[in-house]
Structure 1
Amino acid sequence: MANGPNYRVPFRRRREGRTNYYARKTLLTSGRSRVVIRPSAKNVVVQVTDAKLKGDVIRASASSKQLQKEFGWEYGTGNLPCAYLAGYLLGKKALKAGITNGIADIGLRTHINRTWAALKGVIDAGFDVPADEEIFPEEDRLTGKHIESYARQVKEAAKEAGDGGEIESASEYQFGKVKDSTRISSAVADVKKKIDSKYA
């Protein structure tokens, strides 16, 4: 560790790699609400927050777990379509709360496809966030058609093997715990309709 009279110890959250204070200062001094997107392995949390002296105030919040509890989502909560729906839900909740715009706070993550998917959901809900359209995943990935295609391939390979072997076991492990993964795009559309109905 460095030492000497000119050495300055960074803030704890900077040392832990959790906060970029230069970027945070830029976000806070904008004076606008922040759309905070934080994905984990099995969940995506999206919030609209305002910075106050005593700490951030959460004005609206949504998560992919909430989609299961309130809107009948029966698939994984850590995938791209679910991140998109979580963002869409937040956008609708924020608009109903009278918040119409903000800026994106994506944190320090480097693998951020789900982050962009969630942000796309927020924007599609009608919430105004400045963003370049080129960063967003393709529409087929947002609706889960890539998952449908992969599920069909694995299931077809398992049927061809037909001996209870490794491929069939892999198919059961990946897709046996959820509803038919070849219909995930229609489930995305159904959940969007339910969100629109609740937050009309």
Structure 2
Amino acid sequence: MKLSPTYRMPLKRRREGKTNYKKRLALLKSGKPRLVVRKSLRYIRAQIVEFDPKGDKTIVGVLSKELKKYGWNYSFKNLPAAYLTGLLVGKKALERGIKEAVLDIGLHRATKGAKVFVVAKGAIDAGLKVPLGEGILPSEERIRGEHIANYLEKFKNIKEDFEKIKQKILGEMNG
């Protein structure tokens, strides 16, 4: 009489829908740090993570809420906030001596113009080398927030504020 099951259970994090191990292994094989981008309902989190057999080590982490320190008074989850979050994580990564990373979008679907790719674009503009195809990015107008300014009158200054904060972050890098 056989007592063990005749089927094989997937790993716990796969069953819970938290980890795609095939994608994770492919990213880890590169040997480079990962630019991990995760979205919540209110914020965008960007981290530079390195593999360690005992558990991944987060080297740099930025939550889009940190943009408030730079004067960002708009949503922390829209495209301009995603770009600025990427710019900030790229700046902090360069300060720590990290020059390149691979994008880890987790279980997010790779869709043209998605926020996860805008974060990567911000990190690239900060000077971090992240392999990314140009066809997947939204237009520069959307990254600057012009679609938001055209939609609502009260957000008409979002483009100017975006440029000011971008210069503030880049100014800290150079200065």
TM-score bracket, shorter-length normalisation: over 0.9
Any idea what the Cα deviations from partners look like across 1:23-43, whole Å, max 9, x if unmatched?
A: 111111211100000011110
Q: After TM superposition, list the pairs within 5 Å mapping 1:1-200 onto structure 2.
A: 5-68=5-68, 70-110=69-109, 113-152=114-153, 180-200=154-174
Pairwise CA distance, 1:111 = 6.9
Q: Distance in 2 between matches of 1:21 and 1:52?
A: 16
Q: Distance in 2 between matches of 1:53 and 1:190?
A: 42
TM-score by length of 2: 0.92
Unaligned runs of 5+ in 1: 153-179
| Structure 2 partner of 1:173 | none
Aligned length: 169
Runs of 4+ in structure 1 displaced over 6 angstroms?
A: none
Pairwise CA distance, 1:115 = 0.7
TM-score by length of 1: 0.81
Q: What's the Cα RMSD here?
A: 1.3
Q: Distance in 1 between matches of 2:11 and 2:110?
A: 25
**Which structure has the larger Rg over C-alpha atoms?**
1
| Structure 2 partner of 1:174 | none
Letter aligned with residue 141 of structure 1: R
Q: Distance in 2 between matches of 1:60 and 1:122?
A: 12
Report the identity percentage: 42
Q: Distance in 2 between matches of 1:136 and 1:6?
A: 46
Q: Distance in 1 between matches of 2:125 and 2:132?
A: 12
Letter aligned with residue 126 of structure 2: A
Pairwise CA distance, 1:12 = 1.1
Pairwise CA distance, 1:193 = 1.2
Q: Distance in 2 between matches of 1:36 and 1:44?
A: 11
Q: Distance in 1 between matches of 2:49 and 2:16?
A: 23
Classify the secondary structure of the residue corresponding to 1:74: coil
